[in-house]
Structure 1
Amino acid sequence: MDLNNDLDQHLLHQFSCLGTTDKDDLVKQLQKLLADSHLNETTAAFFLDMNNWNLQAAICSYIDFGNPFNTPCMTLICDSTIGEGEAVPPNTNFQKSWRVQNSGTEIWPSGIHLQHSSGVQMGCARIPVPPLAPKETTELSVTLKSPAETGVHQSKWRMMTSNGVYFGDIIWVIITVHECGTLAVTQQLHQLSTQSNDVQMC
């Protein structure tokens, strides 16, 4: 057994891990250095952890991992929520909807979803998104629940690939919670009206 060689390897390993005691700080550093990739905290921590929290090695791993793929593109066409702008009563289910487009030149890969990334989480945290062909659009809808506290609440949502990379326009949920809010009623009436029209058409 070569004790000197084992000791050298141990010292090299310790040296490569210098400065890794503050993992939260390393995550922020990696996100800052790879700002163009819109790396989220979970993905940054994953690449750091697989490289013994060595910042330089994590950057190299991410670049090697990401090079074969082009980041998808997404454009928010409009907020198509029924009753948009109306207040919501506390602790009430409501639906948010958006129309989005694949504004890139390649079909979206499988595994893409719309992810709650920050702000108030109103129940659901992610919804699956179908692969879209270039220039194709789709309607995304999510059922949320308003907070118990009155006032203005907001949350930020982002499109995310299966390997945790954010892309495309930011999608905001901004609602006013008020005891006399009418959004939920408006949406229920719209749904009943739609169902009634469907019955008449049949």
Structure 2
Amino acid sequence: MDVDNDVDQTLLQQFSCMGTTDRDELVKQLQMLVGNNLNATAASFFLDMNNWNLQGAVCSYFDFESPYKLPSMTLIRDMTVGEGESIPPSTKFTKTWRVQNVGDEVWPPGCCLCFSGGDQLCAVDRLPVLPVGPGCTTDLTVEMVSPQQPGMYESKWRMTTPGGSYFGDIIWVILTVAEGGTMALTQQLARLNELGSSPRTEETSLNPFGPINRPSSQTLFQDSVQQTQDGDANMMC
């Protein structure tokens, strides 16, 4: 079977080779690997099914909990303005990713983008995501705040089904915090540019202080010919 990509195979092999008889520890390890939605009683059940072999218990859990086909998602690119720039400490910024449904079914209602590990950079740990059709893309945006101390920070996010199962690519936030960082300023300037670049409408073209749209000589000639033809027609009537 295809075990979820988030499960580290090397880590599983290390656990299976430990030979520990501490069943409470094995229960905790299984809960850590498959998620907090598995209680101790259920974890003990899956471990007992597999003679308390951790790797076998993980595989049994995913076979049992995922009898249906999980949605598909791939990360297209990071859309964040100022991506790659450092950011000052304790500063608000916006993180945006473009993702695509690469499966053949619509994502079910209730899917979320969830924080799954690393540094917690925002107050919320999940972002509701509307259903996305096959082949379609959507932008996922999370408002974050940089840590107080300078350094390198990593935050891991995953898409989840309404039942809490992970699917799709892992989404990473890799952030450099440094005094004099320009990422937040770059994002503010981009917002100002968006506000100042409103599309021109028919009403704004009537602005008396705006540019004057003078008719071309060809247009004046065509109008003159049309007026002459209209006058000849009136004379004939």
Shorter-chain TM-score range: 0.7 to 0.9
TM-superposed deviation, 1:85: 0.6
Higher relative contact order (CA 8 A, sep 6+): 1
Q: Report the secondary structure of 2:89's partner residue.
A: coil
Q: CA RMSD in A?
A: 2.4
- Could you tell me which residue of structure 1 aligns to residue 185 of structure 2? 185
Measure the CA separation in 2 of the matches of 1:154 and 1:61: 28
TM-score, normalising length: structure 1: 0.76
In the alignment, structure 1 residue 115 sits paired with structure 2 residue 114: yes
- Could you tell me which residue of structure 2 aligns to residue 137 of structure 1? 137
Give 5+ residue unaligned stretches, structure 2.
1-20, 50-56, 205-237
In the alignment, structure 1 residue 54 sits paired with structure 2 residue 53: no
Measure the CA separation in 1 of the matches of 2:43 and 2:77: 43
- Could you tell me which residue of structure 1 aligns to residue 91 of structure 2? 92
Measure the CA separation in 2 of the matches of 1:63 and 1:30: 16
Change (3 A) 1:110 1:149: same
**Contact 1:121 1:155 (C-alpha < 8 Å) held by counterparts:** yes
- Could you tell me which residue of structure 1 aligns to residue 156 of structure 2? 156
Higher strand share: 1
Q: Report the secondary structure of 2:36's partner residue.
A: helix
- What code does the residue aligned with 1:42 have? N
Q: Report the secondary structure of 1:26's partner residue.
A: helix
**Rg larger in structure:** 2
TM-score, normalising length: structure 2: 0.65
Give 5+ residue unaligned stretches, structure 1.
1-18, 33-38
Measure the CA separation in 2 of the matches of 1:152 and 1:100: 25
- Could you tell me which residue of structure 1 aligns to residue 71 of structure 2? 72
Per-residue Cα deviation, 1:15-48 (whole angstroms, up to 9, x for no partner): xxxx7851x522424676xxxxxx3x212x23x4
Change (3 A) 1:78 1:61: closer
1:166-177 matched pairs, under 5 angstroms? 166-177=166-177
Measure the CA separation in 2 of the matches of 1:73 and 1:27: 29
- Could you tell me which residue of structure 2 aligns to residue 13 of structure 1? none
- Could you tell me which residue of structure 1 aligns to residue 105 of structure 2? 106
**Contact 2:111 2:129 (C-alpha < 8 Å) held by counterparts:** yes
- Could you tell me which residue of structure 2 aligns to residue 28 of structure 1? 29
Measure the CA separation in 2 of the matches of 1:30 and 1:145: 30
- Could you tell me which residue of structure 1 aligns to residue 214 of structure 2? none
